[in-house]
Amino acid sequence: MKKSWWMLGVSAILSVGLLVGCGGDDADQLVSFEIPTEGELGSAIAFPKGSELVEPFNQTLNELIESEEMDELVLKWFAGEVEETDAATEETEPTDAETTLVMGTSADYPPYESVDLATGEIIGFDIDIAKYITEELGYGLQIEDMDFNALIPAMESGRVDFVLAGMTPTEERKENVDFSDVYYEATNLIVSKESANLSSLEDLEGLKVGVQLGSIQEEEADELAEEYGFEVVKLNRIPEIMQELQAGRIDAVLMEDTVAEGHLAQ
């Protein structure tokens, strides 16, 4: 079982390499360039302020990070295509009469979290991490999907017990919620159609750049917009943003490399 994950990951890396290597025949495929990211763009688990879950979750998260299982999860979700797996369709039932925790997420962000079109289930790197931690600690897990923008309010009102949504711990957010340690790092990219010929922030002058509402990409885009003279278009869900890009209603998207990857490779 363990070995097959590695093989899957390795073949996924190879196929992504091939796709990237052969790109260029289709003029309208999506391409990207990296932009400097202010501070760190890591993901962490978020909790309502003062939650008792912070410590045990953080400890179990760190055990996972140090284990081989984490390497396998990274290969599984970040090395390329996501294959259907038994782990992905596993339901987590509480052991005996244990508590079920409600996790909030915004399932528009593969490979962190997305809706599996075949089963309608929410799957992803974050989901596997949540399953690992809740299983280790003996909790059941229920997942609530909502707009990214609604996650912090959901923690504040106690509607969810924690959030895994590729969420970056920022000083501003820390005023309202608590965070675990960072479990994954990313960088920001500008994604656009190859035919638009965009390769630097200067090229964005006078153009429309899409971002997810409430994300740190929104903040970064607002700052860059002043310097480079582009318009920031703020939308709720990533698939909606990609659709606007494909339809030519926006010219570019400011997003994380890890999430962009799936769109670039398609």
- Contacts with ligand ARG by CB under 6 A lie at 106, 108-109, 112-113, 148, 165-168, 212, 215-216, 238
Q: How far is the CB of 167 from ligand ARG (least distance, A)?
A: 4
CB of 171 to ligand ARG, least distance (A): 13
- What DSSP letter does each residue of 26-80 carry, written as one string? STTSEEEEE-PPSS-EEEEEEEETT-TTHHHHHHHHHHHHHSHHHHHHHHHHHSS
Task: Closer to ligand ARG by CB, 192 or 215: give it.
Answer: 215
Q: How far is the CB of 165 from ligand ARG (least distance, A)?
A: 4
Q: Which residue has the tokens 């508590």?
A: 99
Least separation in angstroms between residue 4's CB and ligand ARG is 28
CB of 212 to ligand ARG, least distance (A): 6
- Choice between 173 and 193, CB closer to ligand ARG: 173
- For ligand ARG, the closer CB: 5 or 58: 58
Question: In terms of CB distance, is 39 or 56 closer to ligand ARG?
Answer: 39
Instruction: Compare residues 8 and 224 and give the one whose CB is closer to ligand ARG.
Output: 224
